[in-house]
Structure 1
Amino acid sequence: MSDHLGLELCPPPSDLKAEYETLFTSDCLHFLHQFISTFEGEVDQVLSLRVSKKAHLDQTGELPGFRQDTAHIRSDPNWTVPPVPPRLQKRHVDIGDLAPCDSQRFIKALQSPAQGIQVDFDDGNCPTFHNQIKGIHNVWKAVHNQFPNVPHISKAPILMLRPRAWNMVEHNMMVEGRQVPGPLFDFGLLMFHFGKTLFENKSGPFFYLSKVESFMEARLWNKIFVWTQHKLGLSVGTIKATVLIENVLAAFEMEEIVYELREHSAGLNCGIWDYSASFVNKFGHRKAFMLPDRSKYVNMEKRFLRSYMDLLVQTCHRRGALATGGMAALLLPHDTQSQAYKTVLDTVTRLKLLEIKAGVDGFMVYDLNLIKPMQKLFQMHTESENQLQQLRKDVVVTSTDLLSMPSGGVTLNGLRYNIAVGVLFINAWLSGKGHFFYRGQVEDSATAEISRSQVWQWIRHRTRLEDDGRVVNRQMVAALVTVVTLELSVSCSSDRAKQQLQTAADMFLEMVLKRDFPAFITTFLSEDLTFLNKFNPRRTNSPHSKL
């Protein structure tokens, strides 16, 4: 778009010029300019609300609770959400963390028997300009049935599109002289190109909404949906969205979040690691909220997490909305006859059966080989497409339940594990990847978030190791980062790879030693000069000739 229209877009990556031309048409750019201009100010407002809420909690020492000013919404038994479309009624097993820029995995997912695919531009994706263009274009190919040997979009697993969260910025587009919010860039492109086609094929448009912290943020998303549907000639309620409750503050406003979305609600989702990390984000400086070693003491059976899941199921089912659980990150060994295979399958089965018995209507897996065993598990323990009839009237969750930290300490093994995950995640980002594999499971920004959060918090509170009573401090962590990085470097294939791993280790150490807690690891990384210089074209380049 020409400068007088206020939109600037960086040139395409050299290997994606055709894909760029397909996506960034003149009509699309006009739409994006109007869309982003309409809502970027309100995105700033919700981010400011987060800052002011955090400052209030810090200054007063207060704890969150169920809001009094919205009690009438929670106490009104008469409102419900409309039933979701037929293709969303059965949500047993979705494939999670699927970055659509990974064409091979995306095709395999489309060929799989899963109910849905979390098409992930957020946690499992590294948002380079290349990855965003490649990923959105791959969605274009799927929606327009351009992939060979893949079912028609009306028959393939449903696409649950997950744009970036509010905190992320798209560095390669500017509107009115400002870089645009990442979620507006992603959502605008996805809806402009696929909204009508998905609707016509009774397969969408369906979304996951990441890292929502309050009902005011849900209200903004609802306004975005209404505006977009009007502009594209779609009826109100065409868009359906599942909100991921990944923040402790949002847990106290779940009913209000569903209420704000109403005709656009496809329910809520609960997951363990981003949610656990949010306690450090909001209360990490308070010793009462010291989160113990996650690998030893934190799981969905603990009071604070079990209460959160039970409340989420009760809230959704009371209002006729679907409740879904988190993602199984474990990977099945290739040898199906091995004891290791049986152990992994038994572990996943036990954890997911806990969610099914709590009343969830579905959950995610990363490993495609887990789809059929988990679908069979649902069939064995449920009687219909979903569990909406499980109203969970037995559940009574208090603020104390949601804020009760599990008991336990810190182990050297847990500290080393968190360091390794944090360093390897940053290393993955420096390689243009949003997830990686470590010790038999997939790791992404959610596990990196809890890992670096715990290390920061343990240093902050000078926690003692269970092993030998040593204090976790700057010197210990710096020494362990050096040792762990040296161990990880053994698998590096070149000196350049070793240098990159060392850069990742330096960035990790910088982050966990900061005086003030960086709110999101992804924001920290995406704004770092190392990332910007490596993956984003210089803003001084001339705009594309069409603009």
Structure 2
Amino acid sequence: MPFDSKVPGVTILAKVTPEYAQILTPEALQFVATLHRSFNHTRKTLLQKRVLRQQQIDQGILPDFLPETAAIREDVSWRGAIPAPGLADRRVEITGPVDRKMVINALNSGAATFMADFEDSNAPTWENNISGQINMKDAIHQRISYTAPNGKQYNIRKDGKVATLIVRPRGWHLDEKHVLIDGQVTSGSLFDFALYFFHNAKKSVEIGIGPYFYLPKMESHLEARLWNDVFNMSQDYIGMPRGTIRGTCLIETIMAAFEMEEFIYELREHSSGLNCGRWDYIFSVIKKLRQNPAFVLPDRSDVSMTTPFMDAYVRLLIKTCHKRGVHAMGGMAAQIPIKNNEAANKAAMEKVLNDKLREVKAGHDGTWVAHPDLVKLALKVFNEHMPQPNQLHVRRDDVHVTAQDLLNTNVKGGKISEAGIRANVSVALIYMEAWLRGAGCVPIHNLMEDAATAEISRSQLWQWAKHHAKTDKGVTVTADYLLKVLDEEVDQLAKEMGEQRFKASKILQAKKHLATQITGKDYADFLTSLLYEDIVVLEDVKAKF
């Protein structure tokens, strides 16, 4: 029998187990529907504005600071919210997907906070999304546990020293196709946010924190304004004081870099700062400027945080946040411990240490790690150089960043190499295969990769083919050349995996999609949008309206 939502206009086109039904209650679905009906039209309008702005960039009108919001930037009197309970000290944040074991390990890791991710490190299958909501509810209600297939038990630590939970819903561009409201596909952002907020907002306050969120992929302060409107309506809906919700904006698009102060301004009483989403930021720079040959970047490994446009972005973010009294969060250390290779592991940990040292000395109030074993290392660096909970007092008045600085993509000594090309093909291919199987966070070549790094990889390949870039050996990068490399990398994986594993994998499915994205012609807005149809499993339910 199809699932009866008991809410007029709400249709679930997916299997709903008794366990899922505890999340998909009529009251929760009514809340989802209320947010959808109130805000989905605005969301779609703002997404269309992205398309129009891209057309302008393609015509040569580069991003710049907005003249119409200059008064906001020049007014020194306004501030964001004071740090909320559990968010004053964020010196090390761990991030990861919302699967049960990860949630427990992250909460127990010793990190100050845990960003539970429904976005880039989560492949949004119906099972992943709803079981993730169950895990969030069990975590907030302090009853989460897990028994592994080998019988090992995982439980939340009893001393109360668990990380503060922050949830990242999907970006505005993503849909939840398993749920229709009045015949329309639901926004993935509103769906993720609504279910978490409805079930956990009051309990989170009861345990001494609050409903906290990371807000991804925004390209305009108007998109931050939309989130603020959602926050206000949601708090009013359940009778919660406005300002209880806090949102940290990820500055992970080149467009957002020009509107940092406006983002904080729009959220004001709900703002908990900005974060340097470095990998998505590099992806966005390539993506937005991909038609312009002046912005061709070298190998991903050559684009570091000291590259001019990245350094400018970091300095501006720290200055902006501290000017407005909110946290300036650093970026992700993607390295993971390397077992059975002491020298390689030592080199990887040295990279993490240097990265965190650079961040704390620059003025960041905290940083991200992807693996529990890196928490102690990052904490040691921040504890030594930032003994107090944050460094909001470090104003960075010496910083002056121009639009030209943010667009300075010159990489000294950077090159395009065959090794870099093959690495991009390999990362994109392996990640896409895992995503199609429902895994959104994958260790590849001793790095923890999520959608952002796959996006960089395929975008660089597209850019190089589009502009016929030359490698350091003088080879011209063409569509045919890249498709040949793709064939070779697939053949190599087939050898490594063996016939049985290869046939059981989704490598050929991933190859089919990747081949459309590296010729310099077709370019999907997001890989996750491109692949989403492949993981949607709709039940044959006749909608009744």
Q: TM-score range, shorter-chain basis? A: over 0.9
Would you say 1:475 and 2:480 are equivalent positions?
yes
Q: CA deviation at 1:35?
A: 1.7
1:11 match: 14
Q: Which residue of 2 aligns with 1:373?
A: 377
Q: Which residue of 2 aligns with 1:309?
A: 314
| Aligned ranges 1:348-387 → 2 under 5 Å | 348-387=352-391
In the alignment, which residue of structure 2 is the partner of 1:391? 395
Alpha-carbon spacing, 1:2–1:117, altered in 2? closer, same or farther (3 Å)? closer
Question: Is the 1:154–1:201 contact (alpha carbons within 8 Å) kept by the matching residues of 2?
Answer: no
- SS of 2:22's equivalent in the other structure is helix
CA contact (8 A) 2:277 2:331 kept: yes
Alignment of 1:169-180 (within 5 A): 169-180=175-186
Number of positions where the alignment pairs a residue of Structure 1 with one of Structure 2? 530
Q: Secondary structure at the match of 2:30?
A: helix
* C-alpha separation in 2, matches of 1:399 and 1:205: 35
1:114-135 per-position Cα deviation (integer Å, ceiling 9, x unaligned): 1111100001000000100111
Query: What is residue 48 of structure 1 aligned with on the other side?
Result: 48
Q: In structure 2, list runs of 5 or more residues that go unmatched.
A: 146-154
> Which residue in the other structure is 1:437 paired with?
443
Question: What is the CA-CA distance between 1:489 and the residue it aligns to?
Answer: 2.5
Question: Structure 1 152/237 Cα, relative in aligned 2: closer, same or farther at 3 Å?
Answer: farther
Shift of 1:86: 3.2
Partner residue in 1 for 2:24: 24
**2:18 counterpart letter in structure 1:** A
Deviation at 1:152, TM superposition (A): 6.4
- Letter of the 1:387 partner, please give it: Q
> How many angstroms apart in 1 are the aligned matches of 2:543 and 2:501?
32
Give the distance between the partners of 1:104 and 1:366, measured in 2 at CA.
14
> Which residue of the partner structure matches residue 147 of structure 1?
144
For 1:453 and 1:391, how far apart are their aligned partners in 2?
35
The correspondence for 2:115, drawn from 115, 118, 122, is: 118
1:240 CA drift (Å): 0.3
Structure 1 residues 209 and 30: CA distance shift in structure 2, 3 A: same
Q: Does the Cα contact within 8 Å between 1:154 and 1:203 map onto a contact in 2? A: no
Which amino acid counterpart does residue 489 of structure 1 have in structure 2? A
Paired AA for residue 517 in structure 1 = Y
Shift of 1:531: 3.2
Match of 1:90 in 2: 89
1:341-373, Cα deviation, whole Å (9 max, x unpaired): 321111110111111111111111111111011
Please say if residues 14 and 126 of structure 2, whose CA atoms lie closer than 8 Å, have aligned partners that are also in contact.
no
**Aligned partners of 1:68, 1:154: CA distance in 2, in Å?**
48
* Paired-residue identity, %: 38
Aligned-pair CA distance for 1:153 = 10
TM-score, normalised relative to structure 1: 0.93
Letter in 2 for 1:347: K
The residue that corresponds to 1:129 in the other structure is 126
1:65 matched to 2:64? yes
Deviation at 1:383, TM superposition (A): 3.0
CA deviation string 1:390-411 (max 9, x = no partner): 1111111011100001233311
Counterpart mapping for 1:453-472 below 5 A:
453-466=459-472, 468-472=473-477
Give the match for residue 404 of structure 2. Answer: 400
* CA–CA separation in structure 2 for the residues paired with 1:264 and 1:488: 47
Q: TM-score, normalised by structure 2?
A: 0.94
**Residues 7 and 26, structure 2, Cα contact 8 Å, conserved in 1:** no
Distance 1:270 1:2, change over 3 A: closer
Secondary structure (helix, strand or coil) at the match of 1:364 reads strand
Distance 1:178 1:9 in 2: 12
Cα distance, 1:2 vs structure 2? 6.2
**Letter of the 2:426 counterpart:** A
Q: Secondary structure at the match of 1:70?
A: helix
String of CA shifts for 1:422-444, please: whole Å, max 9, x gaps: 10111011111102111111111
Which deviates more from structure 2 when the two are superposed, residues 509-518 or residues 282-291?
A: 509-518
* 1:11–1:542 contact (8 Å) kept in structure 2: no
In 1, Cα distance between equivalents of 2:109 and 2:295: 42
Equivalent positions of 1:531-546 (< 5 A) are 531-532=535-536, 536-538=537-539, 540-541=540-541
1:333 maps onto 2:330 in alignment: no
Instruction: Measure the CA separation in 1 of the matches of 2:495 and 2:465.
Output: 28
Residues in 1 aligned to 2:70 and 2:538: alpha-carbon distance in whole angstroms: 49
Which residue type is aligned with residue 63 of structure 1?
L
Query: Letter of the aligned partner of 2:64 in structure 1?
Result: G
Could you list the per-position Cα deviations for residues 56-114 of structure 1 after superposition, in whole angstroms to 9, with x for gaps in the alignment?
Answer: 2223x111111111111111111111211231010011112x111x2222211122211
